[in-house]
Amino acid sequence: MKQIERLCIKATAASRALASLPAEDKNRALCEIAAALERRSSEILRENRDDIKDGKKAKLSDALMDRLMLDEDRIGDMAQGLRDIAALPDPVGEVVDGWRIPNGLEIRKVRVPFGVVAVIYEARPNVTVDAAGLGLKTGNAVILRGGSASLHSIRMLTEIISGALIDAGLPEDAVQLVESRERAPLKQLLQMKEYVDLIIPRGGEALKEFLVKNSKIPVIYAAGGNCHVFVDAGADVQEAVDITINAKVQRPGVCNAAETLLVHEQIAGDFLPVVVKELTRRKVKLYMDAGARKLIGKRFKSVEDATDEHYATEFLDLAMAVKVVGSVDEAIEHIARFGTGHSEAIVTNDLESSRKFTAQVDAACVYVNASTRFTDGGQFGLGAEIGISTQKLHARGPLGLRELTSVKYVIAGDGQIRT
Amino acid sequence: MKQIERLCIKATAASRALASLPAEDKNRALCEIAAALERRSSEILRENRDDIKDGKKAKLSDALMDRLMLDEDRIGDMAQGLRDIAALPDPVGEVVDGWRIPNGLEIRKVRVPFGVVAVIYEARPNVTVDAAGLGLKTGNAVILRGGSASLHSIRMLTEIISGALIDAGLPEDAVQLVESRERAPLKQLLQMKEYVDLIIPRGGEALKEFLVKNSKIPVIYAAGGNCHVFVDAGADVQEAVDITINAKVQRPGVCNAAETLLVHEQIAGDFLPVVVKELTRRKVKLYMDAGARKLIGKRFKSVEDATDEHYATEFLDLAMAVKVVGSVDEAIEHIARFGTGHSEAIVTNDLESSRKFTAQVDAACVYVNASTRFTDGGQFGLGAEIGISTQKLHARGPLGLRELTSVKYVIAGDGQIRT
pLDDT tens per residue across span A113-142:
999 999 999 889 999 999 999 999 999 999
For residue A408, give the nearest of B105, B364, B391 by CB distance. Answer: B364
Whether the per-residue pLDDT at B196 is higher than 80: the answer is yes
Specify if B398 maps to a domain.
no
Give start and end residues of each alpha helix (H) in B250-289. Answer: 265-281
* Binary contact (B369, A239; C-beta < 8 A): no
A308 shares a domain with A215: no
When pLDDT is cut at 50, 70 and 90, the band that residue A63 belongs to is confident
| Banded pLDDT at A375 (limits 50, 70, 90) | very high
Start-end of H helices in A20-71: 23-39, 41-57, 62-68
CA A226/CA A210 separation, integer angstroms: 21
Query: What CATH number corresponds to the domain at position B240?
Result: 3.40.309.10
Helix (H) or strand (E) holding B320: strand B319-325
Q: Last residue of some domain: B221, B252, B274?
A: B221
The residue ranking higher by pLDDT, B388 or B367, is B367
| B417 interaction partners in chain A (CB closer than 8 Å) | 242-243, 245-247, 250, 370-371, 373
Higher pLDDT, A206 or B235: B235
Contacts of A355 in chain B (CB under 8 A): none
| Residue A301, pLDDT score | 77
Positive or negative torsion for Cα B83, B86, B87, B88? positive
What distance in Å separates the CA atoms of residue A324 and residue B87, rounded to the nearest whole number? 45
Q: Give the least confident one: A162-171, A297-306, B263-272.
A: A297-306
- Binary contact (A20, B359; C-beta < 8 A): yes
φ, ψ of residue B97 in degrees (nearest 5): -160, 160
* Claim to verify: residue B203 and residue B167 sit in the same structural domain: yes
| A398 to chain B: closest CA residue | B409
Rounded CA separation B206/A113 (Å) = 29
User: How do strand A116-121 and strand A198-202 relate by DSSP bridges?
Assistant: parallel
User: Does any CB of chain B come closer than 8 Å to the CB of residue A349?
Assistant: no
Position B301 confidence tier, pLDDT thresholds 50, 70, 90: confident
A370·B105 Cβ contact <8 A:
yes
Interface residue A352 vs chain B (CB under 8 A): no
Asked if A77 is an interface residue toward chain B (Cβ–Cβ < 8 A), one would say: no
Q: Is residue B294 part of a domain?
A: yes
Q: What is the pLDDT of residue A299?
A: 78
What's the confidence (pLDDT) of residue B300?
A: 79
Same domain flag for A155 and A262: no
Nearest CA in chain B to A196: B392
The whole-number pLDDT of residue A212 equals 80
Instruction: Centre a 10 Å sphere on the Cβ of residue A412 and count the other Cβ atoms it contains.
Output: 18
Condensed to tens digits (0 to 9), the pLDDT of residues B380-408 reads 998 878 889 998 999 999 999 999 999 99
Contact B379 A418 (CB under 8 A): yes
User: What mean pLDDT comes out for the span B12-23?
Assistant: 94
Range of the domain at A365: 227-377
CB distance B369–A416 less than 8 Å?
yes
Query: What residue of B is the nearest CA neighbor of A367?
Result: B411
- The answer to whether residues A88 and A177 belong to one domain is yes
Q: Is B402 on the interface with A (CB under 8 A)?
A: no
Model confidence band, residue A182 (pLDDT cutoffs 50, 70, 90)? confident
Residues in chain A with CB shorter than 8 Å from the CB of B114 are 392
User: In the predicted model, what is the mean pLDDT of residues A101-107?
Assistant: 97
Distance from CA of B107 to the nearest CA of A (A): 8
Instruction: Please state, in angstroms and rounded to a whole number, the distance separating the CA atoms of residues B305 and A159.
Output: 48
- Cross-chain residue pair A107–B380, CB shorter than 8 Å: yes
- Same domain assignment for residues A77 and A187: yes
Q: Average the pLDDT over A16-42 and give the result.
A: 96
A391 is a domain residue: no
Q: How does residue A99 score in pLDDT terms, banded at 50, 70 and 90?
A: very high
Torsion angle of the four alpha carbons A256, A259, A262, A267, in this order, in degrees rounded to the nearest 10: 90
pLDDT band at A78 (very low <50, low <70, confident <90, very high): very high
Report the pLDDT value the prediction gives residue B204, as an integer from 0 to 100. Answer: 78
The last residue of one of the domains, among B160, B194, B221, is: B221
Residue A177 and residue A81 share a domain: yes
Q: What is the pLDDT of residue A27?
A: 98
Are A159 and A113 members of one domain? yes
Q: Are A29 and A165 in contact, with CB atoms under 8 Å apart?
A: yes
DSSP helix/strand/coil, A212: helix
**Which segment of A81-95, A214-228, B103-117, B232-246 scores lowest on mean pLDDT?**
A214-228
**Which of A115, A381, A411 lies at the smallest CB-CB distance from B365?**
A411
Q: Which candidate from B99, B371, B396 shows the least CB-CB separation from A381?
A: B99
Amino acid identity at B391: Q
Of the candidate ranges B171-175, B292-296, B340-344, the one whose mean pLDDT is the lowest: B292-296
Report the first-to-last Cα separation within chain B, whole angstroms.
47
Distance CA B333, CA B140 (A): 41
Q: What percent of chain A has pLDDT over 70?
A: 100
Partner B contacted by A378 (CB < 8 A): no
pLDDT per position as a tens digit, A263-320: 999 999 999 999 999 999 999 999 999 999 999 887 777 799 999 999 999 999 999 9
Are residue A287 and residue A272 in the same domain, yes or no? Answer: yes
DSSP A405: E
Q: Are B417 and A370 a contacting pair at CB < 8 A?
A: yes
Q: Is the pLDDT of residue B1 over 80?
A: no
d(CA A376, CA A193): 30
Interface of B with A in 259-318 (CB under 8 A): none
Which chain A residues are within 8 Å of B414, Cβ to Cβ?
Answer: 239, 369
Chain A touched by B55 (CB under 8 Å):
no
Residue A113 identity (one-letter amino acid): P
Task: Give dist(CA B97, CA B89) in Å, integer.
Answer: 18
Does pLDDT of A384 surpass 80?
no
Averaged pLDDT for residues B175-181: 91
Cα distance between residue A240 and residue A371, in whole Å: 10
Query: Nearest CA of chain A to the CA of B13: how many Å?
Result: 10
pLDDT at B320 over 80: yes
In a domain, A383, yes or no: no
Does residue B69 lie in a domain region? yes
Confidence of residue A213 (pLDDT cuts 50, 70, 90): confident
User: Which of A409, A414, A419 to probe the B interface (max B CBs under 10 A)?
Assistant: A409
Residue numbers in A near B336 (CB within 8 A): 16
Q: How confident is the model at residue B208 (pLDDT cuts 50, 70, 90)?
A: confident
Whole-prediction pTM value? 0.92
Both B70 and B177 in a single domain? Answer: yes
**Judgement on whether residues B60 and B166 belong to the same structural domain of the protein:** yes
CATH number at residue A113: 3.40.605.10
- Angstrom CA distances, A89 to A92, A196, A401, B272, B370, stand at 9, 25, 9, 46, 33
Interface of B with A in 81-120 (CB under 8 A): 99, 101, 105, 107, 109, 112, 114-115
End-to-end CA distance of chain A: 47
Pair A246, A279 in one domain = yes
Its ipTM equals 0.92
Residue B297 predicted with pLDDT over 90: no
Say if residue B221's pLDDT is above 90. no
> Which residues, 6 or more positions from B218, have their beta carbon under 8 angstroms from its beta carbon?
A218, A391, A393, B197, B198, B199, B393, B394
Instruction: Tell me how many domains chain A contains.
Output: 2
As to burial, measured by CB atoms within 10 angstroms (0-12 exposed, 13-18 middle, 19+ buried), residue A102 is: exposed
On the 0-12 / 13-18 / 19+ scale of CB atoms within 10 A, A57 is exposed
Mean pLDDT confidence for B305-316: 96
CA B339 vs CA A99, A116, B110: distances in Å:
26, 17, 36
Smallest Cα distance from A100 to chain B, Å? 9
pLDDT at residue A1 greater than cutoff 80: no
Q: Which of B221, B251, B276 is the last residue of a domain?
A: B221
Decide if B103 is inside a domain: no
pLDDT at B220 over 80: yes
CA-based nearest residue in chain A for residue B343: A409
- Rounded-to-10 torsion of CA A98, A102, A103, A107: -10
- Pairs from B144-148 (Cβ < 8 Å, separation ≥ 24): B144/B118, B144/B119, B144/B175, B144/B176, B144/B177, B144/B178, B145/B118, B145/B119, B145/B120, B145/B121, B145/B177, B145/B178, B145/B185, B145/B186, B145/B189, B146/B121, B146/B122, B146/B177, B147/B121, B147/B122, B147/B123, B147/B203, B148/B123, B148/B181
Does A388 fall in a domain?
no
Decide if A390 is inside a domain.
no
Per-residue pLDDT tens for B80-101?
Answer: 999 999 999 999 999 999 999 9
Average pLDDT over residues B18-46: 97
Same domain, B175 and B286: no
From the list A247, A370, A411, the residue facing B411 with the nearest CB is: A370
| Predicted pLDDT at B70 | 97
